[in-house]
Structure formats: structure tokens, C-alpha cells
């Protein structure tokens, strides 16, 4: 189901009978967190503030340099699914994990967070040989996060791993831009988008990272022509996507797509393209920014929860901002406060 080019409103049909608000398709990764400094980033060759794909040896070497790492089941759109579930929504997840201890722990952790995740263990011998993926998250003292990602089994997601019956249950299917680095996964995500539209659902794309956009700009532009209804990205990502030099030009180009486009801008809040033109939404206040890991993921959780629960795009963006503010106030990409209570206090949800 596609957005109407005349109004840029979300296309969430509450009459479809979908029993899941969201099915997110992405990279299941064990997140390994550590606070660090710029010197270490230079030593290991990671670009501050970006995501870099690394191999298993590099991941192990990075972990050996960590003094007291913390472990959480994560991955970008998995974080979004958890956030939506904590708001009281119904979320599902699709991704490839290995039939190993880390993979089974990951599944249990995600289910414990309220997300429906039904991986098919043993679907690929290659997945088991690679092992469940992991993401090394280095948090700088200025709260910027830098990631070295070993995709492992996540890189084996194929059409065979995407259940038609499962995807059909979703009001919105969310595709993770990061996963576009994996050729076989591209077809899996296109397949999921086709299933969603056939079932009268909507499809959202998270651009994930500026470097990811740079690598796949032409394919992302082709994708938004026919396969995407909702586009989520920050100012740098969306400006890069449309190949322009300013925020204004990016918004003009985005408006021509007819999609619901949301451009996040950190402390400046976000801009939502609506039938009345670009609408600015202020950021939710936060006492201190500790770690930006998961800010975009949790913004997407609030945004998509709102769109699937009768809120207009601006209200949904307000909710997204509340979720993002909570996540950047502490380390890690899992909420530590009651998101639903925070939303209720802001007048967006009934407690």
C-alpha cells in the first residue's frame, strides 16, 4: 500500500486485521558495549560516529581491548521492535541467527522483551559456521557511538528465511538499511515488501547510516519509487540520499517522492513531511546526553507505534522524540524507564 502523492500521510489501514503492528527485518547482533576515547578509535581504524563492517578476528581483537564490556541482544531494527513492544505495541522480528549458544540466548532475550521472533535454526549450514553476529559499540566521552559490526549469520538471510504468513500479519514492515550490505538479503527484503503490499500493509525503510547510504544510494532511490511508503533517516542520510547540499533541497526532493518522510536532526528535533508541508517537531528535553546508541532506532519505535495506533505523523514524531530522549540519557539501546508512562505524562497515551 503506497502513500498518496497528494497528502504524504501514512498509509496504516486499521481494517486489515493485522495482529502485529510491526514486523522488523534486520541483522540480529549481540551488542558489546564499552566506553572509550578517540585514541583507541584511531588505533583500531574505525571512523568515529560510523558503522564499519569487520570480520570475526577484528571483532575478537576489539573485544580483547575492552576492559568491562556489557552484552545486550540488539541490531538496529531489533531495538525498534523492542521499543514498540515496551510502548504496548505488538512487534515481530525476522533475522538470521546461528544454532549456537549466542543465537539461542539472543532469541530468548528478544522474546523476553515482548517481541515475537521465530527463527528457523539449521536453515543454513553457512549460518552455523559463521556464528551469530555481533556489534562492537565504542562510546566516546562526548556520547558519540562508533560501531564495528561482524554480521556473521545475519549475512545469510535469504528469501527462504522470510515467512509469508508471518509478514502478512504486520501493519508495517520495517526494513533495515544496514542489511542492504548483504546481496542475498536484498532479495529477502524486496520479497518482504511485496508480501506486505499484497496484504495491504505498509513498508518503512530506515536508512541506518550515512556510509550505508553512500554505498547504496542508487539502489535506495530505486527502492523508494515502488517499494517504500515511509522513509526514516537523519539529516545527513537524507541529504546524501538525494545528492543535494542543503537540508532545504533534501526536503524538496523528498516531498516529490510522495512518501511519508521523517528527517531526524538530533537536538534540533525532526522534520515531518505532511500534507501541509514540512512540519518541525522539537526534540524532547533530556538532562544529559550519555550515549546516542539506539537514538534513531527508538525514535522509529515511537514513530511507528504512533502511526499504527491512530496518531497523525506529527504526534507520532513527538512520541518518537520522547523515546529517543530516554535512550540517550543512559548507555545502551534498551529503555531503562517506562516508555508508556513517559508518553502518558506527555499526553500522548492513556496510562
Q: How do residues 97-118 score in pLDDT, each as one tens digit?
A: 999 988 998 999 999 999 999 8
- The pLDDT of residue 281 is 97
Distance CA 162, CA 209 (A): 24
Non-local (6+) Cβ contacts of 259 within 8 A are: 3, 8, 224, 228, 229, 230, 231, 273
Query: DSSP string covering 83-117, please?
Result: HHHHTT--EEEE----SSHHHHHHHHHHHHTTEEE
What ranges do the domains of the chain cover? 20-28+76-129+154-345
Can you name the residues that pair with 51 across neighbouring β-strands?
Answer: 147
- 139 bridge partner residues: 35, 145
**Fold (topology level) of 20-28+76-129+154-345:** 3.40.1190
pLDDT of residue 4: 39
Residues forming a β-bridge with 32: 71, 136
pLDDT of residue 87: 97
> What's the pLDDT at 8?
45
State the pLDDT at residue 11: 44
CA–CA gap between residue 219 and residue 294 (Å, rounded): 25
Q: Check residue 79 and give its pLDDT.
A: 95
Give the C-alpha separation, 233 to 255, whole Å: 14
Collect the ranges in the chain with pLDDT lower than 50.
1-11, 13-16
Cell numbers standing for residue 56: 570475526
pLDDT in tens, 28-83: 998 888 888 888 888 888 888 888 889 988 888 888 888 888 888 889 999 999 99
Identify the pLDDT of residue 122.
61
Give the DSSP per-residue string, 4-33: -TTT------TTS--SEEEEEE---EEEEE
**Residue in 95, 109, 235 with CA at minimum distance from that of residue 178:** 95
Amino acid at each position: 500500500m503506497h502513500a498518496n502523492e497528494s497528502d504524504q500521510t501514512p498509509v496504516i489501514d486499521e481494517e486489515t486485521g493485522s495482529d502485529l503492528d510491526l514486523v522488523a527485518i534486520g541483522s540480529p547482533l549481540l551488542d558489546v558495549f564499552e566506553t572509550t576515547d578517540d585514541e583507541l578509535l584511531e588505533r583500531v581504524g574505525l571512523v568515529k560516529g560510523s558503522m564499519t563492517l569487520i570480520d570475526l578476528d577484528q571483532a575478537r581483537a576489539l573485544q580483547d581491548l575492552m576492559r568491562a564490556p556489557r552484552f545486550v541482544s540488539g541490531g538496529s531494527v531489533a531495538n525498534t521492535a523492542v521499543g514498540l513492544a515496551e510502548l504496548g505495541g505488538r512487534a515481530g522480528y525476522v533475522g538470521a541467527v546461528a544454532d549456537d549458544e549466542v543465537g539461542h540466548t539472543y532469541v530468548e532475550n528478544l522474546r523476553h522483551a515482548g517481541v515475537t521472533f521465530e527463527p528457523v535454526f539449521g536453515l543454513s549450514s553457512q549460518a552455523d559456521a559463521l556464528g551469530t553476529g555481533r556489534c562492537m559499540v565504542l562510546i566516546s566521552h562526548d556520547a558519540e557511538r562508533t560501531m564495528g559490526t561482524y554480521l556473521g549469520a545475519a549475512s545469510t538471510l535469504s528469501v527462504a528465511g522470510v515467512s509469508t504468513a508471518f509478514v502478512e500479519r504486520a501493519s508495517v514492515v520495517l526494513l533495515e538499511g544496514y542489511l542492504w550490505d548483504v546481496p542475498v538479503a536484498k532479495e529477502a527484503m524486496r520479497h518482504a515488501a511485496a508480501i506486505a503490499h499484497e496484504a495491504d500493509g505498509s513498508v518503512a525503510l530506515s536508512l541506518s547510516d550515512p556510509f550505508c547510504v553512500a554505498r547504496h544510494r542508487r539502489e535506495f532511490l530505486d527502492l523508494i519509487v515502488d517499494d517504500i511508503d515511509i522513509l526514516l533517516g537523519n539529516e545527513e542520510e537524507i541529504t546524501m540520499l538525494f545528492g543535494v547540499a542543503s537540508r532545504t533541497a533534501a526536503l524538496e526532493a523528498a516531498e516529490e517522492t510522495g512518501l511519508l518522510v521523517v528527517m531526524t536532526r538530533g537536538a534540533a528535533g525532526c522534520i515531518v513531511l505532511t500534507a501541509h508541508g514540512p512540519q518541525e517537531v522539537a526534540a524532547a528535553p533530556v538532562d544529559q546526553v550519555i550515549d546516542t546508541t539506539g537514538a534513531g532506532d527508538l525514535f522509529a519505535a515511537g514513530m511507528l507505534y504512533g502511526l499504527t495506533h491512530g496518531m497523525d505523523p506529527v504526534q507520532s514524531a513527538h512520541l518518537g522524540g520522547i523515546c529517543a530522549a530516554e535512550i540517550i540519557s543512559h548507555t545502551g539501546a534498551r529503555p531503562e524507564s517506562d516508555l508508556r508512562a513517559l508518553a502518558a505524562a506527555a499526553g500522548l497515551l492513556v496510562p
